[in-house]
Amino acid sequence: MAFLQMEIFSESIGMMTGVNVIIPERASALPSVLYLLHGLSDDQSAWVRRTSIERYAESKNLAVIMPTTHRGFYTDMADGYNYWTYVSKELPEKMHSIFRLSEEREKTFAAGLSMGGYGALKLGLRMPENFAAVAAFSSAADMRRPVSPSAEHKRIFGDDVSAENDLFALAEKLSVKNAPRIYMWCGTEDFLLDANRRLSSHIKDLGFDIDYSESAGGHQWERWDEQIKKAIDWFGIE
């Protein structure tokens, strides 16, 4: 596997921004693609520094793309930067122009923790035509109940969270037959447990293909390392 630390210029956010990429060096077929998203206090380096993601991807012919969106919640901010446009459109276009990657929906995935879990679910629910499955761990699942300071939340989402940024509303709008498969996990000691239970129940009641589980643990890397390995296996990547 090759590990690349990149700086690219983003037209969407108007600045240079970091992207870390793990990619097979000698792939017999175009690699599957996983967009792996960081949490609120992290950046593009977090998954590589804190987990064995490179080792988990190695046997799967899987490219892992890890962008940074700072504290922007993968959202076109009400007062700030267009991080949703960047991560949902510009980033994939740039990655496919630089690397030889599969463009098949069935070989494209997203995953993330906390804020990144929110981002991964939003990618799957807003752009189901692009993702076969998404995984979210300890997700900031309900933006109607802020998890960041109120002033910061307002800069990101404005006075009210719009339907396009509300995972509950996005799930209601999406046809079940078009939806990606969804994997969710949360620790039983996590402060976001209630939001994860409510969102997973809501998605299940709508008839989506969802695998939701809980186990002992809080908002911690030991659990996320376990879960990303399980999710990659669950994706069914060969």
Q: What is the pLDDT of residues 2-23, one digit of tens each?
A: 999 999 999 999 999 999 999 9
pLDDT at position 149: 79
Q: What is the pLDDT of residues 137-188, one digit of tens each?
A: 999 999 998 887 789 999 999 999 999 999 999 999 999 999 999 999 999 9
Domains of the chain are 2-235 (3.40.50.1820)
Q: H/E element holding 189?
A: none
The HSE-up count of residue 88 (CA atoms within 13 Å, CB side) is 19
Pair 57, 232: CB distance under 8 Å:
yes
Amino acid code (one letter) for 45: S
pLDDT at position 44: 98
Helix/strand number for the chain, H first, E second:
9, 8
Percent with pLDDT over 70 in the chain: 100
Amino acid code (one letter) for 236: G
